[in-house]
Chain A
Amino acid sequence: MKAVCWHGTGDVRVERVPDPTILNDGDVILQVTSTAICGSDLHLYNGYIPTMQAGDILGHEFMGIVVEKGPGVRNLEIGDRVAIPFNIACGSCYFCEHELWSLCDNSNPNAGMAEAMYGQSSSGFFGYSHLFGGFAGGQAEYVRVPFADVGALKIPPELRDDQVLFLTDIFPTGYMAAENAEIRPGDVVAVWGCGPVGQFTIRSAFMLGAERVIAIDRVPERLRMAEDGGAEAVNYEHEDDLIQTLKDMTGGRGPDACIDAVGLEAHAGGLPGLYDRVKQATRMETGRPHATRQAIQACRKGGVVSIPGVFGGFVDKFPLGIAFSKGLKLKMGQTHVHRYLRPLLERVQRGDIDPSFVITHRLKLEDAPKAYKIFRDKKDNCIKVVLSP
């Protein structure tokens, strides 16, 4: 089959690889019908996530049709059309039973490695380095899906791939980010980053009752899309003092909740930006937490800082004292996608939202190298790419 393989920083190739086979009783094989590139894939593409090996198949946002199933699969049949959460969960450990699916105890075959690094292991993720399981990803013609009974969401025939593909990651991620922000009536929510995750965060914040949403980025078309979602756009490059601007916009209080939908590659100008770049390049810190710092600085007393943006190691100049003295609550982590599949599918069916709004590019799988490049460089107004095998 054809698959998108990682070969190093800035180097992805579409290659012929063996077809996947059933490896565990609970596996199914999907014929992939649609797959997307995520901002998280850019962290791999840009070389910030360790333990990638040349030849690893990428992709954790995908859906398709069941073409083979293992002897332990009960809920699925050949021919079923399903969407698959990016995180892999067993359904029977303590964490799965408590809906903490991305913290599953039993789905990372390399849990020992993760424990050595983080003390404890999260769940496995598709196509996301050996540290997180070494699972072959779904930017391919076929993909093997473990614990398929637990994760797979059957898709009603009347819905298009485009409308449900993002249930695999970015819609639940935006939704959980907003849920973590503990939004109450009258709340003003500020969102750093208007990439796909930021876009779904903005719309979810309104669904959960936000009065106003302030969207922060510097890419004009992304800010425009945020405005289309009802947000007030702030281009941080045009602001001398973003924290002051946010204060001014909220009657001096600061946003009630601040959400960092940027993650470890946050862009920053001036000295702080240079500081983080140097430290990251020399591996003295592994993330550039510029947006997180700003979110903590801007948040109103007693507010919530929610962090869907990915971090993998150490950061510094983390303003813990500010968070402490303002009594902030910090919430973060990989999305527990399974928790949101059905509720968000219902929202799509009800017409509350058509998640395809975020798609700017539809390409063939073969075009993945070009797609990664324009998505990373924000060329050609690219916001979200869907690939068809």
Chain B
Amino acid sequence: MQHENRQQQESSGSINVARNERLLSLATGAAMAVGGVAKRGWAGAGLLLVGAPMLLRGITGRSYLYKRLGKNRAVVSDTAAVSVPHGQGIRVEKVTTINRPVSEVYAFWRNFGNLPRFMNNLERVDMIDQRRSHWVAKAPANQTVEWDAEIVNEIENEVIGWRTLNSKLVEHAGSVQFKSAPGGRGTEVRVVMEYAPLGGAAGSLVARLFGTAPEQQVDEDLRRLKQILETGDPITVEGQPSGRAKPEDHPTPSYVRAEEAPKDVVQQASEESFPASDPPAYY
């Protein structure tokens, strides 16, 4: 997976990384927009949206994001348009190649209900209608954060762009572009996330919700997407044995209890067979 930080620098200049990490890290990318309708405890947190007007402007057609991914590429120059104010926004752009046809990758993503399968911070996304969806993200202490999003840009098998809908607290825009890779190498999937910062203590609360390394999280989400589409089942090593775990804390699997698997092919070794009792059969 390639990391393209170029866009981030172009859009937000000399971002203070420490500050950004306090900000909402958008992990899952897509998602996140944390926007909107914060429930159960979050509403009282007094989250403030900074720079929303510029973000919205960007989404509606003049942002760098839109320019890159939408149709009107020639209209705005690279440096002129940003969607979040200088020093206050986060932009993550990631690209990967998935060894499946464009139509399949596009269709999978377009069904937003699939997003939680690879975006770890999402619990659920429900489609409300063809354009609108309701997002539920996992928050610390078994809470959730919920918001609505709408698709603002869509070209079949090319691009999907979305943003939070009527959010009063935090804004986010995301876009994913699909392109056939040369020579039958599958589909290049390019994800761009922008999100507005949050001020003060509220900002760090939300940052905890989404982790502290947005680049890495988008990266991992995309990797899971690739694995789901290529293999059906993202690989894990969680739960495997090691000398760090105590056997008595783990139930004995049935195959061990059933034991008595054929033993006949086991070459019985013993102390006397050290060194090898029979001379090596040299080739």
Interface residues of A (CB under 8 A from B): 1, 3, 5, 7, 13, 15-21, 23-26, 29, 31, 33-34, 53-57, 65, 67-68, 72, 79, 81, 88, 90-94, 97, 105-109, 111-112, 115, 124, 133-136, 140, 142, 144, 146-147, 160-162, 203, 225, 228-229, 353-354, 356-364, 367, 380-383, 386-389
Q: Which residues on the A side are within 8 Å of B230 (C-beta)?
A: 90, 92-93, 105-106
Query: Which residue of chain B has the shortest Cβ distance to A206 in the bound complex?
Result: B283
Given known A-B contacts A25-B233, A109-B237, A19 and B250 have beta carbons under 8 A apart: yes
Bits for B259-280, please: 1 = Cβ < 8 Å to A, else 0.
0011001111111011111001
Q: Which residues on the A side are within 8 Å of B245 (C-beta)?
A: 17-18, 55
Contact A106 B227 (CB under 8 A): yes
Given known A-B contacts A18-B249, A111-B223, A357 and B281 have beta carbons under 8 A apart: yes
Q: Which residues on the B side are within 8 Å of A108 (C-beta)?
A: 235
What is the CA–CA distance of A15 and B235 in the complex, to the nearest angstrom? 26
Contact A19 B1 (CB under 8 A): no
Q: Which residues on the A side are within 8 Å of B256 (C-beta)?
A: 1, 19, 142
Contact A19 B282 (CB under 8 A): no
* Among A5, A7, A24, A354, contact of B281 (Cβ-Cβ < 8 Å): A354
* Among A23, A65, A111, A112, contact of B238 (Cβ-Cβ < 8 Å): A23
B interface secondary structure, majority: loop
Given known A-B contacts A18-B249, A33-B265, A136 and B240 have beta carbons under 8 A apart: yes
Contact B244 A54 (CB under 8 A): yes
What is the CA–CA distance of A367 and B276 in the complex, to the nearest angstrom? 14
Contact A57 B237 (CB under 8 A): no
Contact B282 A7 (CB under 8 A): no
Q: Which residues on the B side are within 8 Å of A203 (C-beta)?
A: 283
* Among B99, B220, B234, B276, contact of A359 (Cβ-Cβ < 8 Å): B276
Cβ of B14 < 8 Å from any Cβ of A? Answer: no
Chain B residues with a Cβ closer than 8 Å to the other chain, count:
55
What is the CA–CA distance of A94 and B231 in the complex, to the nearest angstrom? 12
With contacts A24-B233, A161-B265, A162-B267 known, what are 15 further pairs, Cβ within 8 A? A1-B247, A16-B247, A17-B247, A18-B245, A20-B240, A20-B241, A55-B243, A68-B255, A92-B230, A94-B99, A106-B231, A124-B235, A134-B237, A228-B283, A380-B275
* Among A16, A112, A135, A160, contact of B219 (Cβ-Cβ < 8 Å): A112
Given known A-B contacts A112-B223, A228-B283, A72 and B233 have beta carbons under 8 A apart: yes
Contact B236 A24 (CB under 8 A): yes
Bits for B133-166, please: 1 = Cβ < 8 Å to A, else 0.
0000000000000000000000000000000000
How far in angstroms is the closest Cβ of chain B from A109? 5
Given known A-B contacts A17-B241, A19-B247, A381-B275, A356 and B99 have beta carbons under 8 A apart: no
Cβ of B77 < 8 Å from any Cβ of A? Answer: no
How far in angstroms is the closest Cβ of chain A from B101? 13
Interface residues of B (CB under 8 A from A): 1, 97, 99, 185-186, 216, 219-220, 223, 226-227, 230-247, 249-250, 252-256, 258, 261-262, 265-271, 273-277, 280-283
Contact A361 B275 (CB under 8 A): yes
* Among B250, B255, B267, contact of A34 (Cβ-Cβ < 8 Å): B267
18 examples of A-B residue contacts, CB within 8 angstroms: A5-B242, A15-B243, A19-B252, A23-B239, A25-B233, A57-B243, A67-B261, A79-B262, A93-B99, A93-B230, A94-B185, A112-B223, A144-B240, A161-B267, A356-B281, A359-B276, A388-B268, A388-B269
Contact B1 A357 (CB under 8 A): no
What is the CA–CA distance of A4 and B224 in the complex, to the nearest angstrom? 31
What is the CA–CA distance of A24 and B191 in the complex, to the nearest angstrom? 27
Contact A55 B244 (CB under 8 A): yes
Q: Which residues on the B side are within 8 Å of A142 (C-beta)?
A: 255-256
How far in angstroms is the closest Cβ of chain B from A226? 10
How far in angstroms is the closest Cβ of chain B from A294? 26
Contact B237 A363 (CB under 8 A): no
How far in angstroms is the closest Cβ of chain A from B118? 13
Contact A106 B226 (CB under 8 A): yes
What is the CA–CA distance of A295 and B244 in the complex, to the nearest angstrom? 42
Q: Which residues on the B side are within 8 Å of A68 (C-beta)?
A: 253-255
* Among B231, B262, B277, contact of A90 (Cβ-Cβ < 8 Å): B231
Query: Which residue of chain A has the shortest Cβ distance to B252 in the bound complex?
Result: A19
Q: Which residues on the A side are within 8 Å of B253 (C-beta)?
A: 19-21, 29, 68
Q: Which residues on the A side are within 8 Å of B271 (C-beta)?
A: 364
**9 closest A-B pairs by CB:** A55-B243, A5-B243, A18-B250, A55-B244, A67-B255, A228-B282, A18-B241, A388-B269, A17-B241
Query: Which residue of chain B has the shortest Cβ distance to A111 in the bound complex?
Result: B223
What is the CA–CA distance of A363 and B53 in the complex, to the nearest angstrom? 72
Contact B186 A18 (CB under 8 A): no
Contact A23 B237 (CB under 8 A): yes
Q: Which residues on the A side are within 8 Å of B223 (C-beta)?
A: 111-112
Contact B241 A29 (CB under 8 A): no
Q: Which residues on the A side are within 8 Å of B97 (C-beta)?
A: 94
What is the CA–CA distance of A352 and B73 in the complex, to the nearest angstrom? 64
What is the CA–CA distance of A357 and B280 in the complex, to the nearest angstrom? 5
What is the CA–CA distance of A91 and B232 in the complex, to the nearest angstrom? 12
Query: Which residue of chain B has the shortest Cβ distance to A90 in the bound complex?
Result: B231
Q: Which residues on the B side are within 8 Å of A381 (C-beta)?
A: 275
Contact B232 A25 (CB under 8 A): yes
Contact B281 A65 (CB under 8 A): no
Name which of B1, B243, B262, B273 has the most chain A CB atoms within 10 A of its CB.
Answer: B243
Contact A225 B282 (CB under 8 A): yes
